[in-house]
Amino acid sequence: MTVDLGMPATPPPVLAERRKTRQLMVGSVGVGSEFPVSVQSMTTTVTADVNATLQQIAELTASGCDIVRVACPSQDDADALAAIARKSQIPVIADIHFQPKYVFAAIEAGCAAVRVNPGNIKKFDDKVREIAQAARDHGTPIRIGVNAGSLDPRLLAKYGKPTPEALVESALWEASLFAEHDFHDIKISVKHHDPVVMVRAYEMLAEQCDYPLHLGVTEAGPAFQGTIKSAVAFGALLSKGIGDTIRVSLSAPPVEEVKVGIQILQSLNLRPRKLEIVSCPSCGRAQVDVYKLAEEVTAGLEGMEIPLRVAVMGCVVNGPGEAREADLGVASGNGKGQIFVKGEVIKTVPESKIVETLIEEAMRIAEEMTDSGEIEVGTGQPVVTVS
Ligand code: SF4
């Protein structure tokens, strides 16, 4: 049976057009309103340990990370940058605090961009001319990364605490110094741990400049809390078209940050959706263990690259409706599961066979989509034909 999965001919709707920005290239990745929102993360290894850092970058690359940042707190780290930048498969941004000399080292090393924190770099303003010159000579963009925890002391004194106004003033002041030297290859972040302050700061910044913005809720916390804070804050901004790169900061392995970031973008249709499980929360009507079923189906389909919506429903109240709307679904009841493929019941199986049947059908659909050329082998993305 050939399955018509109804791949959309036009891109799925988004909540707002992207805010128009300048464009820049971070290595091979375009950043700005003409390019997709990209996902960043940061390594947790000692950067000077080149093998360990490259190993972690490879894991991040495999998880879908677009751009990676590495810390550079010492000369040994600065010395390692060239090898890391050369061997990494994704663009590497060097993250510089305190020592201006490492900014130059990172540019010389061929890093795809350099993040500077003006509040933390001694006499940063005096160095802007030289940094702009070196960055221009090498085609290296600069991220001005203002952070609530290390705000420029002058602005802390002026505002008393890292308010949205203080964060924005710090960022725009530094950007203006670069602009004085006719350097505009800049993206900006104004991170705060509080999503309310962070969202307000980015909204203000978006109104006052056309630089691409890198979104982050800094020190967002352990995985559960950090995921929620980031999803709420990024959602508020991305739904208005604000944000060009994102980094979810979690007290968890960086691959987890990437997974959350990708999921946020997919939820807003800013990135093609892949596997999506639509499962009910269960209730007193459930005639099957929905939690277990949903977990087993999710685990069985982990890594599936095709865009597939799978409905796992606990009873016949909403089950058939949701299962019919999905690409693949089950409505459970009376110890059995009705299996739906694209709106049609294709079979009814005993409860013990639901998971394996759904997985088999998903694999069959994936194969058909790949064979028919609908999905590009290796990328999992729909083939787009330009006429
Ligand atoms: S589908 Fe059925 S079991 Fe699941 S939440 Fe709805 S009514 Fe309850």
CA of 299 to the centre of ligand 1 (A): 21
**For 248-300, what is each residue's pLDDT tens digit?**
999 999 999 999 999 999 999 999 888 888 898 989 888 888 999 999 999 99
Tokens, residue 247: 């980094």
CA of 274 to the centre of ligand 1 (A): 24
Of the ranges 96-100, 101-105, 235-239, which one carries the lowest mean pLDDT score? 96-100
CA of 355 to the centre of ligand 1 (A): 18
- Largest Cα separation within the chain, whole Å, is 75
**Nearest atom, ligand 1, residue 331 CA:** 1
CA 314 to chain centre: 32
**For 330-367, what is each residue's pLDDT tens digit?**
998 888 999 999 889 999 999 999 999 999 999 999 88
Task: List, chain by chain if needed, residues with CB within 6 Å of any ligand 1 atom.
Answer: 280-283, 285-286, 313-315, 317-319
Q: Quick check: pTM over 0.95?
A: no
Give the DSSP letter string of 37-77: -EEEEE--S-TT-HHHHHHHHHHHHHHT-SEEEEE--SHHH
**Nearest atom, ligand 1, residue 281 CA:** 5
CA of 281 to the centre of ligand 1 (A): 7
**For 170-191, what is each residue's pLDDT tens digit?**
999 999 999 999 999 999 999 9
Burial (Cβ within 10 Å: 0-12, 13-18, ≥19) of residue 246: buried
**Nearest atom, ligand 1, residue 284 CA:** 8
